Structure 1
Amino acid sequence: MTIGQVNVQDWDSEYDVIVVGSGAGAMAGAFSAASRGFKTLVVEKTPFLGGTSSYSGASCWLPATQVQERAGVADSLDAARAYLQSLLGEAEADRREAFLASAPELVKALEHDPAIEFRWTAFPDYFAGPGRMDAGRSMMPLDLPRSEIGNLAALVRPNIESDRKGESHPDGPLTAGQALIGRLLLGFMNTGNGSVRTETEMTGLIVEEGRAVGISVETADGAHTLKAAAGVLLGAGGFESNTRMRAENGTPGSADWSMAPRGSNTGTAIRSAQEIGAAVELMDEGWWCPGVLQPSGDGAFTLGFRGGLMVSGDGRRFANESLPYDRMGRQMAFAAEDRIPSWFVFDSRFGGGLPAIMRPDITSPREHLAAGTWVQAQTLEELAERTGLPAEALSETVQRFNGFAETGVDEDFHRGEDPYDLFFTDPSHGPNPALVALDQPPYFAARMVLSDLGTKGGLRTDPDARVLAEDGEPIPGLYAVGNTSASFSGRFYPGPGIPIGTAMVFAYRAVQSMAAR
């Protein structure tokens, strides 16, 4: 057996399944494996478990499950199939059908463990079309009391605000992404078949007669080799933090603007699989979002605009600002030279704060204004001067938008005509709650960049998450899920929680494949 050209005589440790990474997909796979009796190891290179999943709202797009049934939500696999087909056509039909078939099974298997429980949450699907659910088909984990998870809470990555400030979890239960990772971790450890190694970085895959049989790792005390008798599951995120890989693949945005935890998601798992012949695809793709530029140079994921408007360098609007964040991000990337950065313009009716949700939200308006990432002015002409925008165009844009706010009809981009557009708005405001006039000076403008929730291109996989070689044949023993794999949703983001939902489903299917050997 070899790591590259280095012979391996003895293993330092042996397991049935090794899971590389610790986001929602990886942890669902680890739980599934350990629940089947596999001796399972989770390897995480950072000090905490959860990756970008721990920062998330933890929506999981999983159609027609017992969670929807409990909530009285009428959903079906046929409706979900029609919706996905309306977006994707017949592309990836095999993986689509595998996902649909296994989503209800996964949820049933997860909730069989008392540590794991979900609730349905209203959040509209992102596109109009047959099978679309205006109230959504996503679910979230229940909050996790500290009394239930105990000392294991220290392993879970804190929320993004705390983590970016170098702080630990705030007091109280684990919520959202921390609750999802915490519940999966608790279930995993309760099986008695699971163990975790943090600050352990995979450095390569070990192959014997064409089969992946283990991994090499680097820790504080040196290099080690770990055997995986049944399989290696790669769930280590994408390559959004790797500036070189982004440049090589023409991936828009910047590592500085990504939401990935610092030191994570550098593409090592993808590179390691490529070194043994794995194929990749969609490497220029990501899960995009507008980001408010921070004084540090980071981006803050921004969604749920309930006022204001966005303009490109010419002072003109270029899209419906209330679009789902990936769709708005794609509008920015479409004409990157003019739209990155863009400016989000709003007035003082929101008290000087941005009329949107930002993650992380750790920088005050005063700090933004001092750093120049936001500007403030008493008039639109002055605002244009301070931002470098054409004054006449900006004034005309705001005047036209204010007219739309009065009539309730956005004649340019139809803002407020889709259920998603109205989801974050104040329903008592005006004839169209998504259109709020800018007429209360002082005016503000926030510099906007193209952020991402991760890259979505990676290893090519089959319906059982088996990694495929360049010739299309599976590499025995090797599986990939989440952003380490190329998403079957291609260049679409169908609904809230698709990244997490699909990662967990395919991790579940990967373990089924391992068990069938």
Structure 2
Amino acid sequence: MSDGPDLVVAGAGGGLAGALRAAELGLDVLVIEADEHFRRGNNTSMSTAMFPGAGSRWQRDAGVDDSPDRFVADIDAKTGGTADARLARTLAEVSAPLVEWLADSVELPLSLVTDFNYPGHAVPRCHSVPGRHGSSVIDHLTRRARAHPNIDLLVPARLADVATGPDGAVRAAVVQYPDGTREEIPTRAVLLATNGYGADRDLVERHLPEIAGAVYHGGEHSRGDALRIGGGLGAATGFLDAYQGHGAVSPGAGTLVGWATVIHGGFIVDTGGRRFGNETRGYSEYAAEIAARPDATGWIVLDKTVHDQCSAFQDFRDTVESGVLVWAGDAAGLAEATGLPAEPLADELARTAAVARGETPDAHGRTNWERPLEPPYAAVRVVPALFHTQGGLIVNEDAAVVRPDGTPITGLYASGGAAAGISGHGAAGYLPGNGLLPAFGLAYLAAGAAARGRTAPTPHNEGE
């Protein structure tokens, strides 16, 4: 790399997939990462490692009828038609090739998740790794990147800026080291894979006031670097009010309890012992709903069968091992163990059991009940959390960052939370896996475009 790398990737989360794809295509790649441990700084390592793939070979083998068209329809339904339709189509079409490439070229041990289906996906289309935790994905990608002769890693360091030439094209990456010194590294292409702005309290309060008081459960380096750098180069931005929340983080353990508890038949009550909505609409929007309840907290109620079904998730196992689940042989005992009012809690257990048996409709409109809960019961206290933001720089089908008129900033790409995603506005449009899909999918597409040495101008759809 005597003349500088062909591509500089800022961020070693999903950006590592872009680096590996670019190296596979013959480019010399430099990856810049602020976290020397490759864990705290990115949301991939904190995720449940769910990769949507519409029309993948695993789906075909399982007899699941899926397609990009069906995926786009689900995105459209979940977002109420507010998602960037062009980008949704692009990512839906690359989703299956992406997961197959991750399995075949990167050798990630992916398989189709069929034991339950997340809210909003019409069919099982999420693929994951054993343990269903992103830390193993990051560990695997890091090993692959370190071993690749075409990839160099610069750690710890962060991208401070991107320098452009008189023609507006990228000419260098400006890197800042922990001691404050800076270095300009010549390159013709930069991929901003630095996530969003979830760790910047001021930006969160400005764009996401409804969730600003919640726990931030994301990468500590997600400080809006891409917005700052891209904005300085005249990039268009959109959907800055979009985010992925979560309604199932244990404050006692600091872990993700997981929404599989709900999908398998659990339910959520507030401190008054009452349910307050249809939990299966989605875990992202439920964060703000819990935040609006008394004391901004709730309890997930489950049983031994649900507990055992959720043990496929490392996050849930970590939660259990922390000791925050409480158990009881009946409703009265559970009320005593949790401190919840006994009569409302017993009433909700009886009502949900009747609904699950098909004896009565649910007052909140929930129709997804696997079975009635049975004693012994368990419960765990949860608080709302902000996981990551879903708005950012507008990109085209090549993941190239564009200006407000739709023309690309030559050589500048964005992926994941650095780019505006496909979740529409607010939290309700988030579909499980649609954080990792833009993170890995756009990085994959950016690598291909950088290898071709071109970006394609496309009409710009304003996102704000």
TM-score range, shorter chain: 0.7 to 0.9
Residue aligning to 2:448: 512
Note closer, same or farther for the CA distance 1:91–1:308 as it changes in structure 2 (3 Å cut).
Answer: closer
1:436 aligns with 2:428: no
Letter in 2 for 1:510: A
Letter in 2 for 1:124: N
Residue aligning to 2:315: 359
Contact 1:295–1:368 (CA under 8 A) maintained in structure 2: yes
Note closer, same or farther for the CA distance 1:17–1:255 as it changes in structure 2 (3 Å cut).
Answer: farther
Contact 1:301–1:358 (CA under 8 A) maintained in structure 2: no
Residue aligning to 1:290: 247
Q: Structure 1 CA distance, aligned partners of 2:342 and 2:2?
A: 67
Compute the displacement of 1:449 (Å).
1.7
The percent identity for this pair of structures is: 23
Letter in 2 for 1:16: D
The secondary structure found in structure 2 opposite 1:448 is strand
Compute the displacement of 1:27 (Å).
1.2
Contact 1:12–1:225 (CA under 8 A) maintained in structure 2: no
Once the two structures are superposed, residues 216-244 of structure 1 have per-residue CA deviations (whole angstroms, 9 ceiling, x without a partner) of 22224542324353311011122222222
Q: Structure 2 CA distance, aligned partners of 1:467 and 1:104?
A: 24
Alignment of 1:122-271 (within 5 A): 122=114, 123-127=116-120, 132-133=122-123, 136-141=124-129, 176-209=133-166, 210-220=168-178, 222-253=180-211, 257-261=215-219, 263-271=220-228
1:412 aligns with 2:388: no
Letter in 2 for 1:207: T
User: 1:463 aligned to 387, 397, 405, which one?
Assistant: 397
Once the two structures are superposed, residues 144-191 of structure 1 have per-residue CA deviations (whole angstroms, 9 ceiling, x without a partner) of xxxxxxxxxxxxxxx9xxxxxxxxxxxxxxx74244334434444454
Once the two structures are superposed, residues 298-317 of structure 1 have per-residue CA deviations (whole angstroms, 9 ceiling, x without a partner) of 56353222565423355431
1:304 aligns with 2:292: no
Contact 1:307–1:346 (CA under 8 A) maintained in structure 2: no
Once the two structures are superposed, residues 436-459 of structure 1 have per-residue CA deviations (whole angstroms, 9 ceiling, x without a partner) of 26x76xx87644321133221222
Q: Which runs of 5+ in 2 are unaligned?
A: 455-464
Q: Structure 2 CA distance, aligned partners of 1:238 and 1:86?
A: 24
Once the two structures are superposed, residues 81-116 of structure 1 have per-residue CA deviations (whole angstroms, 9 ceiling, x without a partner) of 443444454842221222233334434544553644
Q: Structure 2 CA distance, aligned partners of 1:246 and 1:316?
A: 30
User: 1:96 aligned to 72, 88, 100, which one?
Assistant: 88
Contact 2:331–2:349 (CA under 8 A) maintained in structure 1: no
The secondary structure found in structure 1 opposite 2:229 is helix
Residue aligning to 1:49: 38
Alignment of 1:75-114 (within 5 A): 75-88=66-79, 89=81, 91-107=83-99, 109-113=101-105
Q: Structure 2 CA distance, aligned partners of 1:117 and 1:386?
A: 39
Contact 1:257–1:299 (CA under 8 A) maintained in structure 2: no
TM-score w.r.t. length of structure 2:
0.79
Q: Structure 1 CA distance, aligned partners of 2:99 and 2:349?
A: 47
1:482 aligns with 2:395: no
Contact 1:280–1:459 (CA under 8 A) maintained in structure 2: yes
Q: Which runs of 5+ in 1 are unaligned?
A: 1-10, 144-158, 160-174, 423-432
Contact 1:63–1:80 (CA under 8 A) maintained in structure 2: yes
RMSD: 4.0
Compute the displacement of 1:339 (Å).
5.8
Q: Structure 1 CA distance, aligned partners of 2:183 and 2:404?
A: 26
Contact 2:50–2:128 (CA under 8 A) maintained in structure 1: yes
Note closer, same or farther for the CA distance 1:313–1:278 as it changes in structure 2 (3 Å cut).
Answer: farther
User: 2:17 aligned to 22, 28, 53, which one?
Assistant: 28
Note closer, same or farther for the CA distance 1:308–1:516 as it changes in structure 2 (3 Å cut).
Answer: closer
Residue aligning to 1:7: none
Once the two structures are superposed, residues 413-455 of structure 1 have per-residue CA deviations (whole angstroms, 9 ceiling, x without a partner) of 344x33xx53xxxxxxxxxx1x326x76xx8764432113322
User: 1:454 aligned to 366, 388, 392, which one?
Assistant: 388
Q: Structure 2 CA distance, aligned partners of 1:12 and 1:95?
A: 36
Q: Structure 2 CA distance, aligned partners of 1:108 and 1:444?
A: 39
Compute the displacement of 1:269 (Å).
2.7
The secondary structure found in structure 2 opposite 1:98 is helix
Residue aligning to 1:428: none
The secondary structure found in structure 1 opposite 2:258 is strand
